[in-house]
Amino acid sequence: MKKKGSKTLIIVESPAKAKTIQKYLGNGYSIAASVGHLIDLPKSRLAIDVEHDFQPEYITVRGKAKILKSLQTEAKKADTLLLASDNDREGEAISFHLKNALQQKNPRLPIKRIIFNEITPHAIREAVAHPLDINLHKVNAQKARRLLDRIVGYHLSPILWKKVKNGLSAGRVQSVALKLICEREASVESFVPEEYWSLEAELQKGKSVFKAMLIEYQGRKPVIKNKIEVLKISDSLKDAVFKVTDVRFTEKRLKPRAPFTTSTLQQTAATRLGFYSRKTMRVAQQLYEGVDIGSGRIGLITYMRTDSTRVAGSALQEVRDFIHKSFPEELPEKSNYYSPGKGAQDAHEAIRPTYVNNTPESLKSYLTKEQYKLYAAIWERFVSSQMIMAITKTVSVDFKVREALFRANSTSIQQKGYQRVLHVLAQREKGKKLPRLTIGEEVANLRFHPEQHFTSGPSRYTDASIVKILEEKGIGRPSTYAPIISVLLDRYYVVRRNKQLVATQLGRIINDLLVKSFPDVVDENFTAQMERRLDEVEENRQEWVSLLKDFYGDFKKQVDYVMDTLESVKGVMDEETEYTCEKCGRPIVKKLGRFGFFLACTGFPECRSTRSVPLADCPRPGCNGKIISRRKQGGRGKEFYGCTNYPECDFITQFKPTNLKCPKCGYFLVDKEDKQRGAYKACINEGCNYLHTREAEDQSA
């Protein structure tokens, strides 16, 4: 019980969270924000004593001294201090360093730790009523990760400066993600699509018109390589009778999906809402920290950094009561439970609404468009997870036509179940309802529909798929997925193109160097094993010092060896060209910059003339210009490709030119990608039908 007249200071991480919590506690409580880490390693040096058990040298973060001084002043006025940073490793470390810094000025001040999974009046009051000690094992796990990342970055970056280019940097986990993206890019570029055709028949019974697909021809699954073959088949079946030979009904039970974890939230927000991972976490943070909903500020969702699908018993009862009232027929006899994923720490609940009665529609007027979409997705996923399964019924009808077998399918929903609550996450219905058909019945064939396709190659990673693969491989943790992507983008090792993550030339060079020189550091299994060992530190099953010792010895030997033996590629990057500077007449060289290759005058710094690297010759007749990369809006708009003779020549294309020539007309080929073909190369000449397929490669060989 809090003594009358006493004052308690609570320190959280963000001002928004402080504003929400302040409203839940009465007089005698004051809330302040640390705004993240106040104590950390200095940026300018290693600051780790590798000779003496890797003891770190912590300092006040630059620019945060005023905040720390203000907190020390507030702490002097308090009788009790409660540290309420986020309930994860980083949050525990923030609380640990704050306690040390504040007790130096106030050695007798009682300092405790409080944790909560949601920012609601009940959760905050419960946390305040049951303060804890700081979890030193969790602090040590954060320390081990921080020092490990510092050691890797501090030693790899100078190698990149000396061997590649000044100003570059490399991170431990980011380098593994970069390797995955580069490997996928190589697969995309090497893939050559192959042409194939399908054949549908448009059938009619009475007023009902539907389609059936050719699934068997001459006793085998049809492999139709070109238009000639498909027309040969359709001609052989001309005027033939379509007779029903089989009618089958199958039932499929669709279970609801588990409530969101951090990774599944990021994946769903990317695929369904079009949100990048950074945006998803920013909006989720706003919903967690609190929104004014008219009756006051309240946290709308539970903590958004979690790998668990577990739900508190009280929340399960609340959602079952809601379903019983709103969707009584969709309430299962008992709660649905979901097993945690492989390697899940299960430290927090799944991401769910704090109050299920706060429906998305009831809050829509208080939320931004982005907040509404994400909250609706979280609410729908949670409520649907505790409803009965959906049931679909599929009817398959086979038609025998001479040497061919065609099949028509139609799926209908027999029981909506959990899908009844889905709107933002609703799946669109596919397929047309078939008329009632019986074995032996004949139907009319109106016409055939041959359709050209191309085999699809591997897709480039998106925010959703890279997060999924990182989670599957055990690389990183829920709190690090979005920052990993952001760091790669900020360093220009990766760019986004049509929402896909594409490795830049600079990124590939960095990756090649790291893969050849430090195979263990960028190995997925090695990195996943390190993540597991960090978890063991948090569980007090591994000493943080021994973890660093095991890593550092061999790593430092390899660093020294690479620094001494690796050939510098700096000189290789400055390629001679046939061009001369228009301003001073000196030779122009091809250089590698932060944003890829460019042309620069050898007279630098006296002459600072630069230009883009030509990618191809302009295809316009009579124009001797070159095609280069351009951007609108001061270099920040979408990339496109145009002629250097602009405005005299206004040729532009959105497709990136390649260094390949069309074997039919001599124009250059461009990179294209669509859902039907995947990634492929095609001629820029609109009057040329050349597609860079395997068949075309064989013909031109």
Helices (H) and strands (E) in the chain, counts: 19, 29
Q: What is the dihedral of CA 463, 465, 469, 472, to 10 degrees?
A: 110
Residue 566 is predicted with a pLDDT of 86
Q: Is the pLDDT of residue 698 over 50?
A: no
Residue 678 is predicted with a pLDDT of 62
**Running DSSP on this structure, what letter comes out for residue 638?**
-
Q: How far apart are CA 383 and CA 378, in angstroms?
A: 9
Residue 323 is predicted with a pLDDT of 98
Using one digit for the tens of pLDDT, what is the confidence trace for 37-81? 999 999 989 999 999 999 999 999 999 999 999 999 999 999 999
Q: Which CATH number fits domain 143-191+459-565: 1.10.10.10, 2.60.120.260, 1.10.460.10, 3.40.50.720?
A: 1.10.460.10
DSSP result, 128-181 = HHS-B---HHHHHHHHHHHHHHHHHHHHHHHHHHHHT-TT----HHHHHHHHHH
Strands 8-12 and 616-617 turn out to be unpaired
| Residue in 631, 597, 627 with CA at minimum distance from that of residue 615 | 627
Tell me which residue has tokens 């050695």.
107
Q: How far apart are CA 310 and CA 194, in angstroms?
A: 46
Residue 675 is predicted with a pLDDT of 61
Written as six digits, the tokens of 129 are 């009523």
- Mean pLDDT over 265-272 rounds to 95
Top-level CATH class of 195-255+390-454?
mainly beta
Confidence of residue 694 (pLDDT cuts 50, 70, 90): very low
Q: How far apart are CA 146 and CA 139, in angstroms?
A: 10
* CATH number 3.40.50.140 given to 8-134: yes
Angle subtended at Cα 219 by Cα 213 and Cα 221, rounded to the nearest 5 degrees: 45
Residue 293 is predicted with a pLDDT of 93
Strands 390-401 and 657-661 turn out to be unpaired
Using one digit for the tens of pLDDT, what is the confidence trace for 316-328? 999 999 999 999 9
Say which CATH topology domain 262-385 has: Topoisomerase I; domain 4 (1.10.290)
- Mean pLDDT over 530-549 rounds to 95
Please report, rounded to a whole number, the percentage of residues in the chain having pLDDT higher than 70: 94
Residue 701 is predicted with a pLDDT of 37
Domain borders along the chain are 8-134, 143-191+459-565, 195-255+390-454, 262-385, 655-701
Please report, rounded to a whole number, the percentage of residues in the chain having pLDDT higher than 90: 67
Instruction: Point out the catalytic residue in the list 24, 303, 481, 641.
Output: 303
Instruction: Return mean pLDDT, the chain.
Output: 90
Using one digit for the tens of pLDDT, what is the confidence trace for 147-201? 999 999 999 999 998 888 778 889 999 999 999 999 999 998 888 888 899 999 9
291 pairs with which residues across the strands?
Answer: 298
Q: Is the pLDDT of residue 673 over 50?
A: yes
Q: Which residue has the higher pLDDT, 436 or 671?
A: 436
Q: Which residue has the higher pLDDT, 285 or 585?
A: 285
- Is 303 an active-site residue? yes
